[in-house]
Amino acid sequence: MALTSNTFFLRRGKMLEFLASLESTPDAIARSIYLPRELPEEEINTLLTKALQPDSFPEELVTLTSRSTNGAAIFWGSGGRYLISPPFPITGRELFKGYAPETLKLLLQSDWAIGVIVVHLGTYAVAYCQGERIIASKTGTGLVHGRHKKGGSSQQRFQRRRDNQAREFLERVCVHAREQLEPQARSLDYVAFGGPRHTVLSLKKQCPFLHSLEGPVLPLVDAPWPKGEILSKTLLRIWSSRVTEWR
């Protein structure tokens, strides 16, 4: 039987509604499988072959499971076939008969303490959050010129000035990150960064304080330019689950 897949994202509330509906679906052959991240494809394939009916799942399921950055929850039966990449890490292996979303529900129902740092060159946002509530935050801007398109010595002078501006800006972001997050540094459940990867890496390199934060670091959030309701939007992205459905 050929299966086709469809992928979509669900925010925290919608995901919990989805799991409640799934839990109430009777299915004698269904299985629920929880797997941590970074398992090799060969091991995932062996585990799924033992847990599910032979030839009942596509190779795509194995590949997507191995790439899920926070581990995976698989719900597989005649009442629905789903792979869920959760917003927070699954730490152990579990296998249940029927649709058993309790492990994932507990992960989503917890109001985790999260330190959020979003940075683009020229603008930033830092926040301490409980669940989807922003408890303390700071946003701001700084002057960092765009890239110089001409060559020669003028370009070199411009690049040095731009590098200095970027360094001073990131130093300022580090100060504000410390102001907002240091009081809760030991109580953080997770730390989330957003923005261009190279800018986030530059900030981490220049800000030793960030390495002292206790919480595990979540996968990089594709956060847009930090203005307006960026923190609220970033939190929605942090809490969203990626769902792949096969039919």
Q: At 12, which CATH number? A: 3.30.960.10
Q: Is 107 helix (H, G, I), strand (E, B) or coil?
A: helix
Q: 19 in a domain, yes or no?
A: yes
Q: Which residues pair with 242 in a beta bridge?
A: 9, 85
Q: Which domain holds residue 88?
A: 5-110
Residues 127 and 89 in one domain: no
Residues 75 and 187 in one domain: no
Residues 154 and 60 in one domain: no
Q: 220 in a domain, yes or no?
A: yes
Counting residues of the chain whose pLDDT is more than 90, the rounded percentage is 75
Q: 245 in a domain, yes or no?
A: no
Residues 137 and 151 in one domain: yes
Question: In sequence order, what are the residues at sequence separation of 6 or more whose Cβ sits closer than 8 angstroms to the Cβ of residue 92?
Answer: 34, 36
Residues 141 and 179 in one domain: yes
Q: Which of 73, 94, 110 is the last residue of a domain?
A: 110
What average pLDDT does range 120-125 have in this prediction? 89
Q: 229 is written with which tokens?
A: 């309701």
Q: Is the pLDDT reported for residue 145 higher than 80? A: no
Q: Calculate Rg over the CA atoms of the chain.
A: 22
Residues 124 and 205 in one domain: yes
Q: Is the pLDDT reported for residue 153 higher than 60? A: no
What average pLDDT does range 144-163 have in this prediction? 60
Residues 53 and 132 in one domain: no
* pLDDT band per the 50, 70, 90 thresholds, residue 85: very high
Question: What pLDDT does residue 36 have?
Answer: 97
Question: What pLDDT does residue 149 have?
Answer: 52
Contact 245, 13 (CB under 8 A): no
Question: What pLDDT does residue 231 have?
Answer: 87
Residues 134 and 200 in one domain: yes
Taking the complete model, does pTM exceed 0.85, yes or no? yes
Cα–Cα distance for residue pair 246/82, rounded to 1 Å: 7
Q: Which of 93, 110, 127 is the last residue of a domain?
A: 110
